Amino acid sequence: MIKASFSEQVIVITGASSGIGRELALQLAPQWAFLALAARNNEKLTRIAKECEKFNGRVLAIPTDVSRPQDCAALIQKTIDTYKRIDILINNAGLTMYGNFEDVKDLGLFETIMRVNYLGSVYCTHFALPYLKESHGRIVGISSLTGKNGVPTRTAYAASKHAMAGFFDSLRIELAGSGVTVTMIYPGFVATEMREHALGADGKPIGKSHLNESSVMPVERCAGMILAAIEKRKRELIMGFRGKIGLWLKLIAPGLVDRIAQKSILRGRT
């Protein structure tokens, strides 16, 4: 029998109760990975843990709010207490928004999103790093194409994803020669519940998606691409032809990229 790619690898996934995090867990469980799943919603977290256990894998469900450093420290410590090591940390927890900046009524919206998307990744990475250095492990940041290009109606979200990119790109250089690799993932819009939980300009959940869901990438495909990039310890993964061509166009025609982004949002597609 060919050994599975992630067999007996201890993998921490934040934001594991839904969306990309949930799908990553479901694709890793049959490969006999040792999972530590983290999310704020304990009910959903317990549900996904039970789904993963059907594959006879080892699963640890740890309720975690990544915006709280003490929760992140507890997540890593409980993982170590159970599995004795960490091989891969996937910083996936995220929160998005929808609304023009001039319509924002509560600037706390920016702090909330920054704490979850950016600081949550910083906290988890900080506490996990000593163990990842011992295992010559892998750090993964699930960013977004908005971490490469600005997008209207997503000012707080884009800022947090740009911050993630700067942090992990800098950390990659610091860790050169340590055996620890850093992989950054830049998906476009993916078919998940994330947009339904987006915060509006008033700082409250919108409860619906503003996008044409038929035009987004299936979450199963997205997760499969992410795992392939993690396995190869790739530096970064830019998803989709439009994402790749957009980065090239930004170098030679940045104004055109801005107009494309504006039209895409107005049409309700990426």
Q: Residues with catalytic annotation?
A: 157
Q: Could you give the 3-state DSSP secondary structure of residue 17?
A: coil
Which residue type occupies 93? A
185 within 8 A of 121, measured Cβ to Cβ: no
200 within 8 A of 25, measured Cβ to Cβ: no
What gap in Å lies between CA 128 and CA 142, rounded to an integer? 16
Residue 58: alpha-carbon gap to chain centroid: 22
CA distances from 197 to 159, 160, 206 (A): 18, 17, 6
CA distances from 132 to 102, 124, 175 (A): 42, 11, 11
Compute the residue count for the chain: 270
DSSP 208: S
187 within 8 A of 181, measured Cβ to Cβ: no
Half-sphere exposure of 212 (CA within 13 A, CB side): 9
